[in-house]
Amino acid sequence: MIIVLNNKSNLTREEFIEYQSELSKIKSKHNIVLCPSIIHIANFYLENIHLGSQNVSKDKNGSHTGEVSSLQLKSFDVEYCLVGHSERREEFNETNLVISKKIKGLLEEKVIPILCIGEYTKEDLDTTVKVLKKQISTTLKELTEEEKKKVIIAYEPRWAIGKGKTSQIKEIDHTLKSIKEILPNNLLLYGGGITEYNIKDLKKSSFLDGYLLGGLSLDINKFKKFLQELEK
């Protein structure tokens, strides 16, 4: 399983030092990927954890004030990068076209894109699947079949993020199954409202290759409980 920790815009310099020291003690058979706030990437040193970024520029190196390019990420040994997170789509008006450029740029540097998709409000299942199919087709349409397979898909319903609860596993599985039908060879993650408790149900899904954690990533004790539950 791949477990991605999205710290979002959290942790000061001192807090990140303490956080890494706690994470360094974690032993897990799963692949844990830490996506810290981009300001901490240069201070990442963990050997038991992979490094990811929360964002990347849509452009190559050059005059793009405030942006970080895929080549720069690669030079810090970043292996994964989130793209299309609903918070970026909403707060920074990121369109599917921009997301598709980011994915292309990352693949050129051999950084694995984790494409986040998800509906904004709770919809009936057919509408949800329609929304997701559109997000997938518009963001991946420029890629070759070989390139497509390298993208990890993270299904994260916007309405579940930060709420500490998910839909019923039956509903989640219905949606995941539809994604697998379009992209049978891609790794598939679920995120949004995951806790150390509801992982008990989520882990019953037969379509999942991993999880994307927001709030839970910031509380090491809860994260350890999550891992224990997952490994039971």
HEC letters along 50-78: EEEECCCCCCCCCCCCCCCCHHHHHHCCC
Helices (H), 76-188: 86-91, 96-108, 125-140, 145-149, 169-182
The active-site residue, picked from 87, 94, 119, 156, is 156
Asked if 157 and 122 touch (Cβ cutoff 8 Å), the reply is yes
Nearer to ligand 13P, 59 or 209 (CB): 209
In whole angstroms, the minimum distance from the beta carbon of 62 to ligand 13P comes to 28
Nearer to ligand 13P, 16 or 190 (CB): 190
The active-site residue, picked from 50, 85, 94, 196, is 85
Q: Which residues bind ligand 13P (CB under 6 A)?
A: 6, 85, 156, 161-162, 191-194, 212-216
Q: Is 84 helix (H, G, I), strand (E, B) or coil?
A: coil
Asked if 171 and 125 touch (Cβ cutoff 8 Å), the reply is yes
Catalytic site includes residue 146: no
Asked if 5 and 33 touch (Cβ cutoff 8 Å), the reply is yes
In whole angstroms, the minimum distance from the beta carbon of 212 to ligand 13P comes to 5
In whole angstroms, the minimum distance from the beta carbon of 107 to ligand 13P comes to 21
In whole angstroms, the minimum distance from the beta carbon of 158 to ligand 13P comes to 9
Query: What is the β-pairing status of strands 31-35 and 188-191?
Result: unpaired
Nearer to ligand 13P, 141 or 163 (CB): 163
Nearer to ligand 13P, 44 or 226 (CB): 226
In sequence order, which residues have a C-beta less than 8 Å from that of residue 40 and are 6 or more positions away? 11, 13, 16
Catalytic site includes residue 174: no
Catalytic residues: 85, 156
